[in-house]
Chains A and B, each alone.
Chain A
């Protein structure tokens, strides 16, 4: 490979500048401001602000409701990540095996990805509507009286279903291209050695897919934590009440709706730390076991 030569040592920094500027302005600057305001108790209009040290953090972490929301967020993230990865992988493996008309299958599966999260939430909400939802009618047929918006469990079920449904196509695309990138010679060699398709999958194909799966794991955890906001907002119809919500929705409720700037800043810093720790853990413990070819 040819080494690229710059005529001036400053030139590479100049090319980097737009990217850096975006990160600094839209990520570092707000983060620093959030950390700063998390130590203050502020009047929303910015007239008075009192330094309160760690009070906002202590208040947040001592609040039993906050802890309940954190617990739900953990369960929600685990379930959404697991099911959207598992179903995406299953569909990809099956679509990969289809020979005739596979373009049609793929297009149909991928097209769901084009739906924006609030629209997905809206569709989901209609599916689960107390008065007209077809899913509610099916559930009633099996003797399950679903009350989305009223029963904590039913709303959680609906939210997870919609969030998973929305994310499957994304995982599908990556798994499918991963599968198609596997060398045919490896598959054929494995087919000679072992008759069981399931065993072949877990011992040969899945380890080869691991880099893709690891990347998707991180993306899906972030999706479940943050990008499901639109789905949740539409499904709780602006009124969380006794319905389950995730931590990021709580930040929004307290900060934007409740105008509690200090408290919501503390919450967002906590969330930032959680994501940071989670990502470090994933890289330390999972990535080590992955071999990139």
Chain B
């Protein structure tokens, strides 16, 4: 009797998870912990919403590991239908012509309309080609924003700075009030890539690398960027800025412990901060330099996008398109935004979340979206640079040397530009 029961239960479970008619599609991602669970929930919602397709998400570890597994799988013809690729790896997958089916083509082929303008400004270009066609489907997006220790500012009697000039004026008072005025968690993303976008300055030749891989070179010896790091170094020397190495959490921790006044983190950090911060906090835009003409533009998305891998049968591609449609629907975007802290990527989803008074309760959640929705400039759309994960490693190394006193800011950027350009030239050869 029991045997029969369990047999029935097993067969029921089997039919429930993969009904015979359903087309199975796979999704490899690089998210762990709570964010990984939310991906499973999104997949469950998709599977429950229709019967034609069954989506299975698989965690492949970190972002880098997900990309490396995707590459290895593609080379042996075992690629998943959907691969999540992070911002710095975008050039690797987009420049490999034929590795992916552009999301926009896929969705149109499945018979859906695709409206680029439905996406918010800062999201539109980063994973698109130079004509603006979406190659990757933006998924988890975040922006670097400034978190504010309300108590510290009150104690020092200063307002939250909008520009770095205002910060410079407020820093001595914050220090006097017993706080470290400023920390940040990722100099590459927050003070380099997004420095160029917030201050509307060119990052690399060939339209920041979007137009071509051939002869693309970095412009990191830009005097404004050098000035930013000269300032950071002198602030560090005067005790206005503290640097705890390249690790994200080492720098976030003193802010949580109420030792720091301002922390540059991710728009996605606020969920975790609500649990860990020992004091009330708020958030505002990433500061820019008032002295730079045209500064104050939007920032572009960080995080990762979903890519539809090529070489898959048409019915599976149709399912991927169905899923992308599902994923960008306002309801799911709102769910994902609230469950993870990543920003909603469509205007409709933002309006929906706003209409439900979510931002009244959690104003910090809105800052990232608003920053992405600021007017864009010529150079605020992002970058497309090959071997960029390695270029980031060079930056991390040289930035560490600046703050440990092993090199000067000028030398550091000369090194980054030289080694970075060598890597870009190598990358151009791999695609040639």
- Seen from chain A, the residues whose Cβ lies within 8 Å of a Cβ on chain B are 41-50, 52, 59, 65, 130-131, 147-152, 237-243, 253-254, 256-260, 262-263
Q: Does B245 lie within 8 Å of A130, measured CB to CB?
A: yes
Q: Does A152 lie within 8 Å of B397, measured CB to CB?
A: no
Q: Which 10 A-B pairs have the closest CB atoms?
A: A242-B400, A149-B245, A241-B246, A258-B390, A239-B246, A45-B96, A241-B396, A241-B400, A237-B247, A150-B245
Is B235 interfacial (CB 8 A cutoff)?
A: no
New A-B contacts (4) at CB < 8 Å, excluding given A65-B397, A262-B430: A45-B93, A45-B98, A50-B432, A147-B244
Q: Does A50 lie within 8 Å of B406, measured CB to CB?
A: no
CA distance A262 to B426 in the complex (A): 10
Q: Which one of B250, B253, B397, B431 lies within 8 Å of A240 (CB-CB)?
A: B397
Is B300 interfacial (CB 8 A cutoff)?
A: no
Chain B 395-432 interface mask (CB, 8 Å, partner A; 1/0)? 01111110110100000000000010010001001111
- Seen from chain B, the residues whose Cβ lies within 8 Å of a Cβ on chain A are 62, 64-65, 67-68, 71, 74-75, 89, 92-93, 95-99, 243-247, 249-250, 253-254, 257, 387, 389-390, 393, 396-401, 403-404, 406, 419, 422, 426, 429-432
Complex interface: chain B residues within 8 A of A243 (CB): 245, 400
Q: Does B98 lie within 8 Å of A47, measured CB to CB?
A: yes
Whole-angstrom distance between the Cβ of A42 and the nearest chain B Cβ: 6
Q: Does B71 lie within 8 Å of A45, measured CB to CB?
A: yes
Q: Does A45 lie within 8 Å of B99, measured CB to CB?
A: yes
Complex interface: chain A residues within 8 A of B92 (CB): 44, 259
A254, closest chain B residue (CB): B390
Complex interface: chain B residues within 8 A of A44 (CB): 71, 92, 96, 430
Complex interface: chain B residues within 8 A of A50 (CB): 429-430, 432
Complex interface: chain A residues within 8 A of B431 (CB): 43, 47-48
Q: Does A42 lie within 8 Å of B253, measured CB to CB?
A: no
A125, closest chain B residue (CB): B247
Q: Which one of A48, A49, A149, A257 lies within 8 Å of B244 (CB-CB)?
A: A149
Q: Does B71 lie within 8 Å of A259, measured CB to CB?
A: yes
Q: Which one of A47, A59, A65, A238 lies within 8 Å of B97 (CB-CB)?
A: A47
Complex interface: chain A residues within 8 A of B396 (CB): 239-242
Whole-angstrom distance between the Cβ of B227 and the nearest chain A Cβ: 22
Q: Which one of B71, B93, B390, B399 lies within 8 Å of A241 (CB-CB)?
A: B399
Q: Does B393 lie within 8 Å of A253, measured CB to CB?
A: yes
Q: Which one of B68, B247, B422 lies within 8 Å of A257 (CB-CB)?
A: B68
Q: List 25 A-B contacts (CB under 8 A).
A: A41-B429, A42-B430, A43-B95, A43-B431, A45-B71, A45-B99, A48-B431, A49-B430, A50-B429, A52-B429, A59-B422, A130-B250, A131-B250, A237-B247, A240-B396, A241-B397, A242-B399, A253-B393, A254-B390, A257-B64, A258-B390, A259-B389, A260-B387, A260-B426, A263-B426
Asked, given contacts A239-B247, A241-B245, whether A256 binds B432 with beta carbons under 8 Å apart, the answer is no
A49, closest chain B residue (CB): B430
Whole-angstrom distance between the Cβ of A38 and the nearest chain B Cβ: 14
Q: Does A48 lie within 8 Å of B432, measured CB to CB?
A: yes
Q: Does A238 lie within 8 Å of B430, measured CB to CB?
A: no
Asked, given contacts A131-B253, A259-B389, whether A46 binds B74 with beta carbons under 8 Å apart, the answer is yes
A149, closest chain B residue (CB): B245
Q: Which one of A130, A147, A256 lies within 8 Å of B64 (CB-CB)?
A: A256
CA distance A85 to B93 in the complex (A): 47
Complex interface: chain A residues within 8 A of B245 (CB): 130, 147-150, 239, 241, 243
Whole-angstrom distance between the Cβ of B122 and the nearest chain A Cβ: 25
CA distance A254 to B422 in the complex (A): 14
Whole-angstrom distance between the Cβ of B75 and the nearest chain A Cβ: 5
